[in-house]
Structure 1
Amino acid sequence: MTDQPRLRIRGLKKSFGDRTILNGIDLDVPAGKSTVIIGGSGNGKSLLLRCILGLIEPDEGIIEIDGENILQASRRRHETLLKRIGMLFQNAALFDSMSVLDNILFGLKAKGKAARGNRAEQEKEALHLLSQVGLGAHVAPLNPAELSGGMQKRVGLARALAGRPDILFFDEPTTGLDPIMSAVIDGLISDCVTRLGSTALTITHDMTSAMRIGDHAAMLYGGKIIWQGPANRLMESGNPIVDQFTHGRREGPIPTSSLTSSGSAGS
């Protein structure tokens, strides 16, 4: 079953009142590869991740991990499957009341790993995770507010790697970062995929980032995946909608209103 995707999504739909955000998403995410999803704000990129994570229940559709539909799994089995996923949220989403160390220990606990070994062994693993994202032990006792935006992203990535998940989700990982730190974060993401053999799914509107980290790419527009292909073809896809978006052209089939639409549900 070498051709079976790690994640397989078919006919996924989600509406809020009379507003349809996801209108039949079909997407394959190949195992051991990095897939990027591009699209404007309000087109449902973050909502798609939330549906996969079980944070929001879709109205219709299938979400499979290695051929198993997680929407039909028992609660216990569903939780087990979701523990295979590590998530880096857009703003790192660190707990302000916890130190960096405790944030990572929380990640280990959420994956069921903190129950193994004593406190010293757990802290050793947490410090190892920090080292994997280029941060030293001196950062561990600090609070998130004492860190720069780039360092917070790195800590968020370390927490996402807790428990060594084989699936990683990244929600706009370079938003708010300068070009150099964006390149650093992209490099860390690529390294995780290569070194750990993880399957990565990233949502972004940063074309430079998409080209750097993506093996496979897809564009979400109008509630559907309108194009899929190798990430190195993003800038010359041949699809007029994709071409307008990736090249940042004002004129084209995408109306300006759809690029400026907002709403947390459909970001």
Structure 2
Amino acid sequence: MTAQPKIRIRGLKKSFGSKRVLDGVDLDVELGTSFVIIGGSGSGKSVLLRCILGLIEPDEGSIEIDGVDVLRVPGAQREQLVQQIGMLFQNGALFDSMSVADNIAFGLRAKGREKTARPTKAQARVQAGEILKQVGLDPSVGALSPSELSGGMQKRVGLARAIAGTPKVLFFDEPTTGLDPIMGAVIDGLIVDCVKRLGSTAIAITHDMASAQRIGDKAAMLYHGKLVWQGLASELMNSGNPMVDQFTHGRREGPITMELRR
């Protein structure tokens, strides 16, 4: 008997006006797997993540977490399922008006299953210092504001907030965008360490092929709203699929055509 996937998506469709962004996406993400989704700008990667997070309502299809369709359960149960998810946004999305420690404390308190089980603000700040250590930062960084941090440090703090509350599912939206190659490798290493330590299931979307291979166990490519290939992340650069090969090697010629606006 095949084990139930942690995340199971079937027939997912989403249009904005006349533009079909997701066109029947089927995807299984197994428990404890890091799954990477690649694809060009406008291919539907971010919309797919937002549908799973409940930020966008798809037109058709199902999204199951642990066998429960999050699109067809009462609001309270849906919120509980979504609370299992930690998210590292592309730009960090830190609250400028809060200190680093309070940003992480916000994540800790937001993930509290019951109000009585939520840590106090003071307790959350102490826990935030411990989480900063997990992403390679000294707890003293907690006193700083996001504007005082470098791009790499902001990514680490964003990761710290994402793992606050030990989520069962982690999403990463272009985790290495804006970073130099060395810092990108550092962030990828931290992501892999955090996912393994938490025993989480992860989905990442990225344009960075080196990052995709470092983070992912499995991978898929989204093109014109459809998954055109799925396989091992280690096979991304030698998939045998013409679309994947053109994209991963950055070739101008091939089956993928760029839509230019005039």
> C-alpha deviations, 1:116-156, integer Å up to 9, x for none?
34443222211111111011112111110100011000000
Match in the other structure for 2:95: 95
Contact 2:109 2:124 in 1 (8 A): no
- Structure 2 gaps of 5+ residues are none
1:178 pairs, out of 165, 170, 180, with 180
Any idea what SS the aligned residue of 1:229 has?
strand
Tell me, yes or no, if structure 1 residue 208 matches structure 2 residue 210: yes
The offset of 1:236, in angstroms, is 1.1
Q: Which amino acid aligns with 2:74?
A: S
The offset of 1:2, in angstroms, is 5.7
Q: Which amino acid aligns with 1:201?
A: I
How far apart, CA to CA, are the structure 2 residues paired with 1:230 and 1:59?
30
Aligned pairs for 1:42-81 (under 5 A) are 42-81=42-81
Aligned pairs for 1:98-113 (under 5 A) are 98-112=98-112
Match in the other structure for 1:264: none
Match in the other structure for 2:234: 232
How far apart, CA to CA, are the structure 2 residues paired with 1:2 and 1:152?
40
- Structure 1 gaps of 5+ residues are 262-267
* Larger RCO of the pair (alpha carbons < 8 Å, separation 6+): 1
Tell me, yes or no, if structure 1 residue 162 matches structure 2 residue 164: yes
2:220 pairs, out of 215, 218, 221, with 218
TM-score (norm 1): 0.94
How far apart, CA to CA, are the structure 2 residues paired with 1:151 and 1:106?
18
How far apart, CA to CA, are the structure 1 residues paired with 2:194 and 2:119?
25
Contact 1:234 1:242 in 2 (8 A): yes
Contact 1:33 1:193 in 2 (8 A): no
Aligned pairs for 1:125-164 (under 5 A) are 125-164=127-166
Contact 1:250 1:256 in 2 (8 A): no
Seq. identity, %:
69
How far apart, CA to CA, are the structure 2 residues paired with 1:141 and 1:164?
23
Any idea what SS the aligned residue of 1:256 has?
coil
> C-alpha deviations, 1:172-200, integer Å up to 9, x for none?
00000000110010001110121111101
Tell me, yes or no, if structure 1 residue 30 matches structure 2 residue 30: yes
How far apart, CA to CA, are the structure 1 residues paired with 2:189 and 2:3?
27
Residues 2 and 142 (structure 1), Cα distance of their counterparts in 2 relative to 1, 3 Å cut: farther
Contact 2:109 2:118 in 1 (8 A): no
Number of paired residues?
Answer: 259
How far apart, CA to CA, are the structure 1 residues paired with 2:120 and 2:223?
48
How far apart, CA to CA, are the structure 1 residues paired with 2:239 and 2:153?
35
TM-score (norm 2): 0.96
**Root-mean-square deviation (Å):** 1.4
